[in-house]
Structure 1
Amino acid sequence: MSTLTLLILLLPIHTAILCQLCGTPVPARGPVAFFLRALLRSMEGTRPDPHALIALRLARQHDLSREGQILRLLKQDVVEDGTEFSPGTAAWHILALLASCEDPHSVVVEDQRVNLAALLMEKLRTDIVHVDNGRPLTDYHQVSLAILALCKASICLPAEMIEKIFCSAVQLSIREEFTYPVDTMSIAALALRCMSFGNCNHRTPVIKSALQSVVTHILGNVRSDGTIGDLSTTGVAVQALTANQDLLPPGSWECRKSVEKLLQGISNGTFSNPLAASLAIPALENRTLLDIDTLNCSTDTDDLPSLFRKSPIAAYPRAATTTPTHPTPTPTHPTPTPTHPTHTSQTRTHRVHMARIITASTASSTGYISVNYTVMDAVNNNFTQWLILNVPLGSSALDILKEAERISPERFRLDYLQTPWGVVITGINGLYPNMFTTQWYFITGQNHQINDLEEFTPSDGDTILAIFTHRLIPNK
């Protein structure tokens, strides 16, 4: 099982916690945020991947340091090997540069400069010459990618050239009796959309007909469960159909069903490589590849919680690797004094909060363990907050929650009741469950549900995740 597969098993994704992602600017944050962290972790020690950077840039939460590292390495690849890129590889690099607010016409590393857009244009011209012989030098997937990337780089190909390419593609399909795969048709739909309704304005009858035909063929691959083609192509197909919603017959596609299928695939570990993940993430974020040149990088915030960010010392961030800005108290065993629920109104912050509070500078102190505690609002999508605690060995999960409140009561306020059947959590951070619709759900970093917070004792380096979520089966 791959690293990415293992990491995404941390996701407690339930259909009941999903909101309407299609047509909604902010999706359910929990599953997407965990998927992004899993993608970042899976890339450690591997060659930089433009697909992955595009996905990270189209996400709404960011690890700016890691994204910057990937960008620098990709620019170095362009300068060193750009002339050897295939059209598809050059196109993906251009899209990654644009998504990072970089100019593909001038990629500079030290004293070297490369015009990657011009290089791709030359490669596309070579492909188009071979179209006269019945097929491109590469394939129509790469040709479509090249057209999309050039369009996003503000290079508008002549309408006659686009018509020639897509007419040739149709003739090849008819002559050899095959249908293009869903991912190729989806990229073609995005490229044609950009050329006709986006950065360029080619709306000739031939191009408009080609776009409608491609969209219709994609719709023909929609299955009853929401899958489009297969699960690996559903992400990019969702992007293509979302970008061309005005061309869809009413009721011909349920976007939510396709997105739910993507989230189920994440939960099941289906997207076990960065490429498959990168095609799914924009769809989950209600974005498409057409959005890459509309991003405002200057407004990005470093707000992706760091549970799985790269650490040069260990897989998880440790208190020992960070020197606190202010002195912090030596941890003591949490005092099990019950508190009671209050009835103050819930505060809606409409942004993600991140708390990184180190309770001691020596995580390896004898008799203590380091535990990551994360709280996530998956109903209102208002916050994801976390901290690392050093607590005595043998502390229970409930002790962890109490210690978090003691250290940061404004972010981790805990309300609970002691009943004859054990402790009942009535609220965290001002979020109170409704007995019929919502609940606090607790799992470990190994995706095991915690049924008894007083009995469960985490190990060193473990994670406790508290999720405010809809009930799977509402109580009657």
Structure 2
Amino acid sequence: MAFIRCNYLHLIITIPISLMAEGCQATVAHDHLVRELLQRMEKSVKPDEPPNPSILLAMNLAGATQGHVHRWLLQEIKKSAVERAQTVALYILALLSSCQDPRRVHALEQTLDLIPILKHKMTEEISNNGTQGHERRTGGTGGVSPSLHPISSPLLDPTDTQAMAVLALVCAYNHTDGQDLIHDALKAVTNYFLDEQKGHGIIGDIYSMGLALQALETSGEFYAPRKWDRAQAFSVVYAHDYQQPMAMAQVLPALVGRSYLDECPRANSSRLQHSGDIRAAITVQFSITNTLKNYFHYSTWVCVPDNSTLLDVMQVARNEKPDIFCFKIKWTHLGPFVTSIHGLAGNKTERTYWQFFSCWSPLQEGVGTYKPKNWEHTQAVFSTY
């Protein structure tokens, strides 16, 4: 299944009350938007229309896997994959996010392996693009041909193509030995991507924002130390009234801190469920922020069994994205104490430590005892005392 993958002390509060209120309001608005997009996507699913694997993929990444619409979509996508095997790459992503093996897709009393079909289609596209590229380069148009533009295609929106290229390269970087070359390519592509950012947070156009946000959220290490205004970019998404199902399906993963590189997002939560202790799953947002030195901010959504502790949430986030949400703890008589997150440890001389919040309210319990609620935003902020 690896084919596509790619506070125990209440110290001085240094965050202004107004910022806390704004943070809570933003979290409420964010949660409302996620629910609204999920509802709109479900309503867009029609039994008399072909199933859209992008919608199934977005529902899986957002953790909306319990309804009849999700069950119907999964079954119909299996049937479509067996019958037609079109847009096979998207089908494979949707199936992987549903914890289904694309090598053994069973429907209509048949079992199909989609991987050889994908390889065949990739070979065809590479061959066709080579021929078309030659015709465009020799067509007497003058100047630089679109085929020579970095990671673009004249048949697709350049921003969408570029974003998918970034996701593909990150996937390859995580699953190959030749990382130096890929690192250089990603640095070039992501910086070019940021150069193309328009004013007011727009990247490409409003319908490209979903893939663009996914790409930039998963590739931060490659354009660092350069920064992009993620808050402004997300504010554009919050302000837009999305109605087109495909656009909603592309932007929703970014809103819940995921991307098309997240394979089988429910797998980690299921591993936390012991035999005889099956509990309803909840979705929790977990963020880490450091503004004191070498700024970074990352956020993700994870599924955990109800009644899980914040430490459980952190462990699932680490399992899903170990390069980002790695952490260290030491055990004390009060329980586990977080000493380091993302390679950044607290320091007694500098009086720094990791402080934990729920919607900007500092936690009064430790990570080993605090139990977040469904859709709660929990945060670890590198702070001073």
Partners in 1 of 2:167 and 2:146 — Cα distance?
Answer: 17
**Which amino acid in 2 is paired with 1:18?**
A
1:58-77: per-residue Cα shift (whole Å, max 9, x none)?
00344343212100000000
CA distance in 1, matches of 2:377, 2:122: 43
Report if the CA contact (8 A) 1:55-1:279 is conserved. Answer: yes
Q: 5 Å matches for 1:6-85?
A: 17-19=25-27, 28-45=30-47, 46-82=49-85, 85=86
Of 127-136 and 237-246, deviating more is 127-136
How far the C-alpha of 1:109 sits from its partner, in A, is 1.3
> Using the alignment, how far apart are the partners of 2:177 and 2:131 within structure 1?
29
For residue 95 of structure 2, give the secondary structure of its aligned residue in structure 1. helix
TM-score (norm 1): 0.47
247 and 298 in structure 1: CA distance in 2 versus 1, 3 angstrom threshold: closer
| Higher mean C-alpha deviation, range 236-245 or range 224-233 | 224-233
Q: CA deviation at 1:284?
A: 0.4
Q: Does 1:250 align with 2:221?
A: no
Q: Which residue of 1 aligns with 2:308?
A: none
State whether residues 78 and 107 of structure 2, in contact with CA within 8 Å, keep that contact through their aligned partners in structure 1: yes
Q: Deviations over 1:115-148 (max 9, x none)?
A: 11110101111222334435399xxxxxxxxxxx
Q: What letter is aligned with 2:217?
A: T
- Alignment length, in residue pairs? 254
For the residue of structure 2 that corresponds to 1:291, the secondary structure is: coil
- Asked if 1 retains the 8 angstrom alpha-carbon contact of 2:282 and 2:373, the reply is no
Per the alignment, do residues 60 and 259 of structure 1 end up closer, same or farther by CA in structure 2, a change over 3 Å counting?
Answer: farther
TM-score (norm 2): 0.58
> Which runs of no fewer than 5 residues in structure 2 stay unpaired?
1-21, 136-144, 271-278, 284-363, 379-385
Q: Does 1:283 pair with 2:250?
A: no
Rounded to whole Å, the distance in 2 between the matches of 1:19 and 1:211 is 31
Identify the residue that residue 172 of structure 1 maps to in structure 2: 148
Stretch of structure 1 that moved more, 177-186 or 90-99: 177-186
Cα separation, partners in 2 of 1:224 and 1:251, compared to 1, 3 Å: farther
1:69-124, Cα deviation, whole Å (9 max, x unpaired): 10000000011111xx2xxx111101000000001111111431111111010111
Which structure would you say has the larger Rg? 1
Q: Is the 8 A contact 2:102 2:115 kept in 1?
A: yes
Residue 284 of structure 2 corresponds to residue 262 of structure 1? no
Residue 35 of structure 2 aligns with an amino acid whose one-letter code is A
Within 5 A, what are the aligned runs for 1:37-436?
37-45=39-47, 46-82=49-85, 85=86, 89-133=87-131, 135=133, 172-173=148-149, 181-196=158-173, 198-205=174-181, 207-250=182-225, 252-265=227-240, 269=241, 271-296=242-267, 299=270, 301=280, 350-352=372-374
Would the aligned equivalents of 1:15 and 1:260 in 2 still touch at CA under 8 Å? Answer: no
Q: Identity rate of aligned residues, in percent?
A: 26
CA contact (8 A) 1:221 1:229 kept: yes
User: Is the contact made by 1:79 and 1:113 (CA closer than 8 Å) also made in structure 2?
Assistant: yes
RMSD (Å), alpha carbons: 3.6
The answer to whether the 8 Å contact 2:153/2:161 transfers is no
Gaps of 5+ in 1: 1-13, 21-26, 138-168, 305-345, 353-376, 383-476
Structure 2 CA distance for partners of 1:93 and 1:301, relative to 1, 3 Å: farther
Residues 183-208 of structure 1 show CA distances to partners (whole Å, capped at 9, x for unaligned) of 10000000011112x23343252x33
Question: How far apart, CA to CA, are the structure 1 residues paired with 2:260 and 2:177?
Answer: 18
C-alpha displacement at 1:224, in angstroms?
3.1
Q: Counterpart of 1:223 in structure 2: which amino acid?
A: K
Q: CA deviation at 1:227?
A: 1.4
Please list the CA deviations of residues 295-335 of structure 1 after superposition, one character each: whole Å capped at 9, or x if unmatched. Answer: 4187395779xxxxxxxxxxxxxxxxxxxxxxxxxxxxxxx
CA deviation vs aligned residue, 1:18-74 (integer Å, no higher than 9, x gap): 149xxxxxx942321222122112224443100101100000344343212100000
Query: 1:241-289: CA deviations, max 9, x gaps?
Result: 1111012243530112211211111xxx2x2111000011011001111
Structure 1 pair 134–74 and aligned structure 2 pair: CA distance change class (3 A): same
